[in-house]
Each structure stands twice: as structure tokens, then as C-alpha cells.
Copies of this chain bind each other. A is one copy, B any other.
Amino acid sequence: MLTPWRTGIVHARDGEIWIRGRNVTALMQQATFTDTIFLLHRGELPTPRERRMLDAILTSVADHGANAPSCATARLSASGNRQSVSANVAAGLLAIGDEHGGAGETCMVLIQAGLARALDQNRTLAEVADAMVAESRTAGRRLPGLGHRVHTVDPRVEILFALAKDDDGQEPAPVRFMRELQRAAAAAIKPLPINIDGALAALLIVLGFPPQAGKLLFIVGRVAGLTAEVAEEYAREKPMRIRIPLDYDGVPPVAD
């Protein structure tokens, strides 16, 4: 027989549902959806500052346009399959990985490593950032969280950093580390702006999330956009509308 699955997330009994110890009916009356997301992942309700940060994070990744791989994949799926909107949204998620939506995760690992090194070696964030930029150069590794294909400065970054300030107006350590990393990179390599992935990574560390949450919360935010993209595709477009132009450069026909 199957051993029962352990779970610490949801407890359902006698028609009542508790999420991490909170009755769903109480949450429905008092919590926002963002509270529920935070509760599901962190096991407690957010403070007002944490809620504002998570709201801004999820909004910032919700949708960047129908030609991002996730949105385009969802729409292409809807071009051939109109029986299942969940299949279309799932197809969109399958384009999310280290290359799309995953940079936050890599940057969270970097920030965690930087903060741990500062604590363990009793060094300043600036010293650690200088050391890590030098190591990246030597190893020929790109620094996640810095630089962007399109923007010189992304206006979303400073908005996120402003929301992260504590009650005394101080920036928390993960934000200060990203600023030191940018300074160190500008000195050793070239001026590179902090990008949205770097800002998201810093805020998710502030909120207490593990690196894996970089991708998981990107998914939560992006599904808001994917569902809207799929709805628009069904409403406006005929099935099978999409034909990508091809250049065949393989072997010529073989005589049989």
C-alpha cells in the first residue's frame, strides 16, 4: 500500500481547510492573494513592507510582451490546441528555465555567498564584492544581476530598492551588496547597471526566500500574464495562424 504523503502545507478536515495553520475562510476575509502566496512559501503572513515588496516583485515579472519565450510558447500551443487552456499555460511555463526567468536564482546564490563570506571572514561587503568580481574575471564567468541587452538603466531597479528600505530608511544588506558588486564591476571591468534580475534577487533574499524561489515566484507572477495572453489568443486569433519562416540548409534530396 502507498505510504501516506507527509505534508506541512495544507490540512483539510471536516470541510475546513488550513494553509500553514491559517483557516482559509479567515484568509479570504483578511488577506490579499499576495499574503497567501507569502504564507504558502514562508509559513507566515508578511508585514506591510514585505507585502509591498512581494506585490511589486510579482507585478514586475507578470508580462514583458507576447514575444518572450514563455508567452510565445503559450500562444503557439493555443494555435494548435484549443481544448485545454491549462495545456496552453503549461506550455508557456515550459519555456522558463535558467535562460528565461531563471537569472534571479543564480544571482540569489551569488548574494547569499557574498553575505556569508562577509560574516564568516569578518569583511565588509565592499571587500567581498571586490574579491568576487576579481574571481569572476579570472574564471571568465559572467556576473549575474549586472548588465542588460536592452536597457542602460532599468527604472524598475530603484523602485524595488526603495521598497526594500527598512523603517529607518536603511537599505538591507542584500541591496547594499548588489550596489557594491556594481561598483566593483565598474571599477574592474566596465560600468554595468544592476538589472531587474539582480534587483529581484536582492529583494527575495531580503524576504527570506531560498534561491529556488527565484524561479518559482517568477512562475507565480508570469502566470498572470500567460493566462491573459492565452485569453487574447483565443479571442482574437484563428487556430493554426502561426507559420515561422524556415531556411532549410540540410542535405539535398537523396535518390531512392
Interface membership of A87, Cβ < 8 A: yes
Chain B residue at minimum C-beta to C-beta distance from A227: B216
Interface membership of A26, Cβ < 8 A: yes
Residues of chain A at interface, number, CB under 8 A? 126
Interface pick from A117-125, A129-137, A154-162, A178-186:
A154-162
Cβ 8 A contact of A11, one of B9, B17, B250 = B250
Interface pick from A53-61, A106-114, A138-146, A165-173:
A53-61
In the bound assembly, the distance between CA atoms of A6 and B229 in angstroms comes to 11
Q: Per-residue CB proximity of A225-247 to B under 8 Å, as 1/0?
A: 10111111010110110111111
Cβ 8 A contact of A83, one of B67, B83, B240 = B83
Chain B residue at minimum C-beta to C-beta distance from A228: B40
Residues A225 and B40 in contact, CB atoms below 8 Å apart: yes
Residues A95 and B70 in contact, CB atoms below 8 Å apart: no
Nearest Cβ in chain B — how far from A88, in angstroms?
Answer: 7
In the bound assembly, the distance between CA atoms of A22 and B255 in angstroms comes to 8
Residues A82 and B95 in contact, CB atoms below 8 Å apart: no
Interface membership of A217, Cβ < 8 A: yes
Residues A227 and B219 in contact, CB atoms below 8 Å apart: yes
Residues B83 and A62 in contact, CB atoms below 8 Å apart: no
Query: Within 8 Å CB of A12, what residues of B?
Result: 64-65
26 contacts between A and B (CB under 8 A): A7-B250, A9-B225, A9-B232, A11-B248, A15-B151, A15-B153, A17-B64, A21-B252, A21-B253, A24-B60, A32-B55, A33-B37, A36-B224, A77-B95, A81-B98, A81-B100, A82-B99, A84-B94, A84-B97, A86-B94, A87-B93, A87-B94, A90-B90, A212-B234, A216-B227, A223-B223
* Extra A-B contacts (9), CB below 8 Å, given A28-B59, A32-B55, A69-B242: A5-B245, A9-B250, A11-B248, A28-B160, A30-B256, A36-B62, A81-B96, A83-B83, A86-B101
